[in-house]
């Protein structure tokens, strides 16, 4: 089946970063070594198209603000997503080496978790990451395609009705006049159309990368919980008690080292993704608000276009908040698991090690962003503030 990768039974190693890897490779910007010069040229070509398209959309919207506010909003709604995607891709390119090292280390650590219970967690969290990332890609693809279909229908319906045909590109852009007339108009239409798909591949890849990292971190934290449960069991004080305690001390030291490494990896990941997450949350309210306003203003097919666009933007935001929440919950549950084990039946040295692990794990691991943390409560707050923005814009229009 075509969508078999959405099933839990899909091989976990193939599922690793599946959606972001596919999306970013399409535009040549997946952070991996060994790229050819042709792929580098393709990636820079796509960045140039995205940058020019964002500029053209912004210029068109600003030009029409005082002339036709509705037409201006039609251009400014998607341009915010385009600009933010360009910023995200620039961050991914700038931090390509740290991200590549993170991807490789995560692949090694997750591959080591291979007993029955850990495999259950791997399949579950890998499937969640793939499904939500695919949802962001699907709705983004549907949004860009709907803009293209709308422009194609308008251009076709205008043929023969008016003498001076005003051609429409999929996204409203301020192209030079020769590109908006025949025979060069198909070039402008193609640039605008591909600009939309670059945006979709960019945000689906970067946002999916964020969610996948979060889900894989949670997988590693769950694996730690399973190791602690199996390690800190009550043992009889027989002749082998002392040797068993020494083995438990060694295993517990390895668990603590793994926990420290996971925390360090999350801190490194937070530093790399800080600008991306902050920028996305700052612009989310405006993007969702303009989408809903445009959905109210444009009749017939326009309602469908902006409905799909709104769902796409909300899915992106939910992706970040879901990932942040899962990391917070996975880290705090580790302290509960340690406390509920039989740690108090072991020797004093093990008890001290467990208490230190318990104290450290009580502090939630958070994807660090200035002023807030990506979480489901933040998701609710943004949607609430978006409602206020929609009411304000509606009163002005």
Helix and strand numbers (H, E) in the chain are 11, 0
pLDDT of residue 393: 59
Nearby residues of 140 by Cβ (< 8 Å), 6 or more positions away: 199, 200, 203, 204, 312
pLDDT of residue 309: 87
pLDDT of residue 213: 94
Residue 173 in contact with residue 57, Cβ under 8 Å? yes
Alpha-carbon distance of 71 to 65, in angstroms, equals: 8
Nearby residues of 211 by Cβ (< 8 Å), 6 or more positions away: 129, 132, 133, 319, 320, 322, 323
pLDDT of residue 230: 82
pLDDT of residue 391: 64
Beta bridge partners of 369: 372
Phi, psi values for residue 161, rounded to 5°: -85, -35
pLDDT of residue 60: 87
For CA atoms 9, 108, 24, 311, give the dihedral sign: positive
Retrieve residue 125's tokens: 């969290």
**Residues belonging to the chain:** 397
Alpha-carbon distance of 206 to 69, in angstroms, equals: 32
Under DSSP, is residue 373 helix (H, G, I), strand (E, B) or coil?
coil
Retrieve residue 330's tokens: 């996975």
Q: What is the CA radius of gyration of the chain?
A: 25
Q: What is the pLDDT along the chain (397 residues), one digit of tens a residue?
A: 467 877 877 888 888 899 999 999 999 999 987 788 999 999 999 999 999 999 988 888 888 887 777 788 778 888 888 999 999 999 999 999 999 999 999 999 998 888 888 888 888 999 999 999 999 999 999 999 998 888 888 777 766 555 556 678 888 888 888 887 778 888 888 899 999 999 999 999 999 999 999 999 999 999 988 888 888 776 555 545 556 778 888 888 888 888 889 989 999 999 898 888 888 888 887 788 777 777 777 777 767 888 888 888 889 989 999 998 999 888 888 888 888 877 777 778 888 888 888 888 777 778 877 777 788 888 888 877 776 666 665 665 5
pLDDT of residue 172: 85
Residue 27 CA from chain centroid, whole number: 17
Phi, psi values for residue 373, rounded to 5°: -125, 135
Residue 151 in contact with residue 167, Cβ under 8 Å? no
Which value, to the nearest 10 degrees, does the dihedral of the CA atoms of residues 370, 376, 378, 384 take? 160
Single out the residue of 185, 208, 204 nearest to residue 196, CA to CA: 204
Alpha-carbon distance of 387 to 397, in angstroms, equals: 15
CB atoms within 10 A of CB 183: 7
Residue 113 in contact with residue 231, Cβ under 8 Å? no
Nearby residues of 351 by Cβ (< 8 Å), 6 or more positions away: 343, 344
CA distances (Å), origin 368, targets 211, 363, 390:
15, 13, 29
pLDDT of residue 42: 93
Global pTM value: 0.90
pLDDT of residue 346: 76
In the chain, where the domains are located: 4-227+253-396
Alpha-carbon distance of 256 to 262, in angstroms, equals: 10
Alpha-carbon distance of 332 to 360, in angstroms, equals: 10
Cβ-in-10-Å burial (0-12, 13-18, 19+) of 300 comes to exposed
pLDDT of residue 141: 92
Residue 132 in contact with residue 321, Cβ under 8 Å? no
């Amino acid at each position: 089946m075509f969508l078999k990768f959405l099933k839990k039974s899909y091989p976990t190693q193939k599922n690793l970063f599946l959606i972001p890897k596919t999306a970013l490779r399409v535009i040549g910007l997946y952070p991996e070594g060994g790229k050819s010069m042709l792929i580098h040229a393709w990636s820079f070509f796509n960045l140039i198209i995205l940058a020019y398209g964002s500029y053209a959309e912004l210029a068109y919207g600003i030009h029409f603000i005082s002339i036709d506010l509705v037409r201006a909003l039609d251009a400014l709604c998607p341009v915010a997503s385009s600009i933010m995607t360009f910023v995200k891709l620039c961050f991914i390119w700038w931090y390509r080496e740290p991200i590549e090292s993170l991807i490789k280390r995560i692949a090694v650590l997750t591959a080591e978790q291979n007993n029955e219970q850990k495999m259950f967690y791997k399949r579950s969290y890998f499937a969640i990451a793939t499904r939500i990332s695919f949802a962001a890609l699907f709705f983004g693809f549907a949004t860009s395609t709907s803009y293209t279909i709308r422009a194609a229908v308008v251009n076709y319906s205008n043929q023969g009705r008016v003498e001076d045909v005003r051609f429409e590109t999929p996204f409203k852009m301020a192209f030079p006049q020769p590109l908006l007339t025949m025979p060069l108009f198909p070039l402008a239409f193609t640039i605008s159309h591909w600009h939309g798909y670059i945006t979709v591949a960019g945000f689906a890849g970067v946002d999916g990368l964020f969610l996948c990292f979060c889900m894989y971190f949670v997988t590693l934290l769950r694996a730690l919980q399973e190791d602690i449960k199996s390690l800190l069991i009550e043992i009889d004080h027989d002749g082998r008690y002392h040797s068993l305690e020494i083995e438990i001390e060694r295993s517990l030291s390895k668990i603590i080292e793994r926990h420290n490494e996971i925390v360090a990896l999350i801190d490194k990941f937070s530093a790399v993704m800080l600008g991306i997450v902050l920028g996305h949350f700052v612009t989310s309210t405006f993007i969702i608000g303009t989408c809903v306003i445009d959905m109210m203003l444009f009749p017939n097919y326009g309602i469908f276009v902006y409905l799909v666009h709104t769902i796409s933007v909300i899915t992106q935001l939910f992706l970040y908040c879901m990932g942040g929440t899962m990391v917070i919950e996975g880290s705090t549950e580790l302290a509960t698991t340690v406390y509920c084990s039989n740690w108090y039946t072991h020797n004093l040295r093990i008890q001290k090690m467990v208490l230190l692990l318990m104290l450290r794990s009580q502090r939630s691991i958070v994807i660090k962003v200035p002023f807030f943390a990506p979480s489901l409560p933040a998701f609710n707050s943004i949607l609430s503030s978006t409602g206020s923005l929609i009411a304000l814009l509606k009163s002005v229009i």
